[in-house]
């Protein structure tokens, strides 16, 4: 009980910080609900099997081959074979991240596989899945858990891409996504 309470307090803290940098935060109890939510989102976003309308999903442990097939059937235009051309042309990118940092609203990912970076950088919308149990308090906490020897590319993502280079006016979506939807999933395992 106390663990759940604790995790909801830390989640609230994460949510406040992430929303302050224009990310959207949701939470679902199960993987199945997460998949339902994503299917709904992809339909809402107008994902279709034609140029400029694709969605790309980087390989992640929660989606097995069976699920892939089911999803590809449910959402035409959703692709699991990510190429740079597809990712550059896609509307939506989906990936699973490894840790979340409560005091900055940050997501952290071991992103050695290039797909993970392509889907979270090139499309205009990035949907990030993350285990609720992967919430950590802060930067020092995650640095003790990652091993740069094993993860040659570590990505930290805090909100969508932004700039204030013209007249200091904050503008969202420069080279990366202009929207970031973070979905916490309670029954998802934490990455090793």
Partner 1 sequence: MNQEFKQSILDALSNPNLTGALGNFSVAYRAGRAKAYEGIDFEALRTQIADIKSSASSHFDELAEQFARVAEARGTKVFRTSDPNAVKDYILKLAQARGVKSIVKSKSMATEEIHLNKFLEKAGIDVQETDLGEWIIQLAGQTPSHMVMPAIHMTKEEVAGVFSDKVEDGQKPDIPKLVKFARGKLRPMFLKADMGISGANIAVAETGSIAIVTNEGNARLVSTLPNIHVAIVGYEKLIEKFADIAPILTALPKSATAQLLTSYVSIISGPTPNTDGTPKELHIILMDNRRNEMAKDPRFKQALQCIRCASCLNVCPVFRLVGGHVFGKVYTGGIGTILTAWFDALKQSDEIQSLCIQCGNCKDVCPGKIDIPDLILELRRRLAVEQGQPMIQKAIFSVVNNRRLFHTMMRAASIGQIPFAKEGFIRHLPMFLSNMTEKRSLPAIAAVPFRDRILKIKQPKCKEKAAFYGGCLIDFAYPEMGEAVVKVLNKAGIEVIFPEGQTCCGAPARYSGAYEVAAQNGADNIKALLSEDVKYVVSACPTCTVALKHDFIANLESVGRTGELPAARQLSEKVVDFSTLASQLLEQGRLKFKAGIEPTKFTYHDSCHFKRTLHADQTPRKLMKQAGHELVEMDECDMCCGMGGSYTIKMPEISAPILERKLMNVEKTGAPLLLIDCPGCVMQIGGGLDKRGSKIQVQHTVQRLADCLE
Rounded to the nearest whole angstrom, what is the least distance from the CB of residue 32 to partner 1 in the complex?
31
* Two tokens, residue 111: 């992103």
* 159 part of the interface to partner 1, by CB under 8 A: yes
* 169 part of the interface to partner 1, by CB under 8 A: yes
Q: Among all chains, which residue has been given the structure tokens 């699991």?
A: 80
User: What CA–CA distance (Å, rounded) separates 68 from 49?
Assistant: 16
User: What CA–CA distance (Å, rounded) separates 156 from 174?
Assistant: 17
Q: Considering only residues 76-95, where is the footprint of partner 1 by CB under 8 A?
A: 83-84, 88
Which is closer to partner 1, CB of 74 or CB of 154?
A: 154
* 24 part of the interface to partner 1, by CB under 8 A: no
Q: Considering only residues 29-48, where is the footprint of partner 1 by CB under 8 A?
A: none
SS3 138: coil
Containing 190, the helix (H) or strand (E) segment is none
* 164 part of the interface to partner 1, by CB under 8 A: yes
Identify whether the C-beta of residue 125 lies closer than 8 Å to the C-beta of residue 56: no
User: Of the ranges 55-63, 92-100, 135-143, 183-191, which one interacts with partner 1 (CB under 8 A)?
Assistant: 135-143
């Amino acid at each position: 009980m106390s663990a759940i309470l604790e995790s909801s307090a830390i989640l609230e803290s994460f949510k406040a910080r992430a929303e302050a940098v224009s990310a959207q935060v949701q939470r679902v109890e199960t993987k199945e609900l997460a998949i339902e939510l994503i299917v709904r989102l992809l339909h809402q976003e107008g994902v279709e099997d034609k140029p400029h309308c694709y969605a790309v999903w980087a390989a992640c442990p929660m989606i097995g081959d069976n699920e892939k097939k089911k999803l590809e059937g449910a959402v035409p235009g959703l692709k699991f074979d990510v190429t740079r051309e597809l990712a550059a042309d896609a509307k939506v990118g989906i990936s699973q991240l490894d840790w979340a940092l409560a005091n900055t609203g940050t997501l952290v990912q071991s992103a050695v596989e290039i797909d993970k970076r392509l889907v979270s950088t090139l499309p205009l919308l990035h949907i990030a899945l993350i285990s609720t149990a992967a919430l950590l308090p802060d930067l020092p906490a995650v640095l003790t858990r990652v091993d740069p020897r094993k993860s040659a590319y570590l990505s930290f993502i805090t909100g969508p891409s932004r700039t204030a280079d013209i007249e200091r006016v904050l503008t969202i979506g420069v080279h990366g996504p202009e929207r970031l939807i973070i979905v916490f999933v309670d029954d998802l395992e934490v990455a090793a």
